[in-house]
Structure 1
Amino acid sequence: MDLRPYFDELERFADGQMSLAEQEAFELRLEQEDALADAHAAYEQLTADLRWAAGHDTLRLRLQALDERMNERGTALDRAQHLASRRQRRQVVLVALAGVLLLATGVAAWYFSRPERARPASSWQAYYRPDPGPAVTAALLTTNPLFAEALDQYQSGHYPAALHSLGRVSPATVGADTLLYLRGLMLLRQGQGNAAQLYLRRVGAGSSPGELARRARYHLGMAYWQAQELAPALTELRAVAADSLNPYRASAQQAVAAGVLEAR
């Protein structure tokens, strides 16, 4: 129905804006005027519908906000669980890496501290026992200064200079075998194993082996070894190892026992 003719009165009555006399008069009219009573009933229904609609919309908005908060909370929980899972995986990886590092450290410590059981050294220098030659004495400096100079240069590691000085020494003042022996030693120490063999083989040739010849045989074996002639090197060193009078017997025995000169 059309509420407009009564709307102001109905609104004032519903809001309690009428005086007591106006309110009593309005209530009397409601009893007497059917049109006003119908308008009042329609107005009450309208306001009730509006209140319901407003309350329903408020509830809908509240439910929607609650859903959004729940969604946000679920997203936050998922993110927190993901971060916790990733942190846990990282910790597992770090623990595994620490274990691997600890194991590697232990293996390295064992490797470097273990007793040496590696295969014997195969280089001739590992078994070589050098001969320093005769001592340079004051008497030698006086009687044979050229020979003393050659010995001093040899013992100082100046092998080319020592060879040059030795070439100026007369065999009559020293002895041919001594010069051959020392020249072989110098060439050997200079890394010229092939050239050293030529001189060391001639020491004591044609006579019974003496002290110098026994020494020369050991250095000859080492000269062969230096030149990678392993078979003759083994032959010479075996002979030295079997000679109880050779001063290099122990060194030769060690080289032979190592087996590094055996044919492979």
Structure 2
Amino acid sequence: MSPSTPAGPDLRPYFDELERFADGQMAPAEQEAFELRLAQEEALADAHAAYEQLTADLRWAAGHDTLRQRLQALDERMNERGDALARTQSLVLRRQRRWAVLGTLGAVLLLAAGVAAWYFSRPNPARPARNWEAYYQPDPGPAVTPALLHRHPLLSEALDQYQSGHYPAALHSLGRVSPANVGADTLLYLRGLILLRQGQGAAAELYLRRVSETGAPPELARRARYHLGMAHWQAREMAPARAALRAVAADSLNPYRASARQAVAAGVLEGQ
């Protein structure tokens, strides 16, 4: 008699939603809300993983017809991978050509704008800037290299869109990346970064807090704590912003320690 195995997650309360999500039948707003629940509700995330495993097992057990369908689906995924790779390469090439054409003119204009800005709005040292963006050190994410394009074309597409400032498109592309291929913590962190740059600090907090508090790799957790503090600041939640950035400033291993110490030392988080 084989030993008993623990019961898996109960799919029944979520089955209809999981099926519609897997089949792509949700409207964009509904899909976004469902993905947010996946990031927040452990029971739903477990049910989703069990549903994915169940459907994979059923497809395998169905025999030759299912095998044919799996091969067809694999072909479609490979086509999608190729399309994403081509789109990302095209985006990279267009951006490189644009910078090559506008590089000299842009440098001159930036220099002129910098001189004008310095002359007409020279800061008063006694009154430091109080805007969070004046102290924020962005994280551009991994560089889109040929190796990354080859291994993770969908992630590369999302990163290129994020680095180009196309935040809604980047969020949409990121939703198509499988956590099994990249890592759930990495996807949560990137989603938090994109939402923060999009001006949605309150929404970014949900993802960055989960990365900083739920056993992510130490380096990633340290980065998330800094951006979480900035998300609080952007959302005008000054008490948690002060607490988070003071903790970052005290952490000698945090790569954003200097930026956090600058904001704390300037006193811009006090009395707002």
TM over 0.5: yes
| Residue segments in structure 2 that go unaligned for 5+ positions in a row | 1-118
Q: Which amino acid aligns with 1:151?
A: L
Aligned equivalents of 2:140 and 2:245: distance in 1? 20
Q: Equivalent residue for 2:197?
A: 189
Distance in 1 (CA, whole Å) between partners of 2:268 and 2:231 is 15
1:191-236 CA distance string (max 9 Å, x none): 0000000000010433276000000000000000000000100000
2:171 is the counterpart of 1:163: yes
Distance in 2 (CA, whole Å) between partners of 1:113 and 1:187 is 30
Q: Is the 8 A contact 1:177 1:204 kept in 2?
A: no
Contact 2:136 2:230 in 1 (8 A): yes
CA-to-aligned-CA distance 1:149-194 (integer Å, 9 cap, x gap): 0000000000000000000000011111100000000000000000
Q: 1:163 to 1:247 in 2, by over 3 A?
A: same
Q: In structure 2, what is the Cα distance between the partners aligned to 1:113 and 1:173?
A: 48
Which has the larger Rg? 1
Q: Which amino acid aligns with 2:129?
A: A
Quickly say closer, same or farther: Cα 1:113–1:151, change in 2 above 3 A.
closer
Mapping of residues 42-191 of structure 1, within 5 Å:
116-191=124-199
Cα deviation, residue 117, structure 1: 2.1
Query: What letter matches 1:242 in structure 2?
Result: A
- State the shift of 1:116 in Å: 3.7
Letter in 2 for 1:185: L
Q: Which residue of 1 aligns with 2:266?
A: 258
Q: How far apart, in 2, do the equivalents of 1:242 and 1:262 lie?
A: 18
Aligned residue identity for 1:167: G
The letter for the 2-side match of 1:194 is A
After the TM superposition, list the runs of 4 or more consecutive aligned residues in structure 1 that deviate by more than 6 angstroms: 111-115
State the partner residue of 1:212.
220
Using the TM superposition, give the Cα deviation of residue 144 of structure 1 relative to its aligned residue in structure 2, in angstroms. 1.1
Aligned-partner Cα distance in 1 for 2:122–2:174: 48
Which amino acid is 2:265 matched to? A
The amino acid that maps onto 1:187 is L
1:200/1:217 contact within 8 Å kept: yes
The answer for the alignment partner of 1:25 in structure 2 is none
Instruction: Find the counterpart in structure 2 of residue 227 from structure 1.
Output: 235
- Change in 2 beyond 3 A, CA 1:195/1:238: same
Structure 1: segments with no counterpart, 5+ residues: 1-110
Structure-1 separation of matches of 2:170 and 2:126 = 38
Q: Is the 8 A contact 2:212 2:225 kept in 1?
A: no
Three-state SS of the structure 2 residue aligned to 1:152 is: helix
Secondary structure at 2:210 match in 1: coil
Q: Which amino acid aligns with 1:152?
A: D
What's the Cα RMSD here? 1.9
| Aligned-partner Cα distance in 2 for 1:115–1:156 | 30
Structure 1 residue 140, shift from structure 2 partner: 1.1
TM-score w.r.t. length of structure 2: 0.54
Q: Which residue of 2 aligns with 1:95?
A: none
The 2-side partners of 1:252 and 1:175 are apart by: 27
Q: How many residues align?
A: 154
Listed one character per residue, the Cα deviations across residues 13-41 of structure 1 (whole Å, up to 9, x for unaligned) are xxxxxxxxxxxxxxxxxxxxxxxxxxxxx
Corresponding residue for residue 211 of structure 2: 203
Q: Which amino acid is the alignment partner of residue 195 of structure 2?
A: L
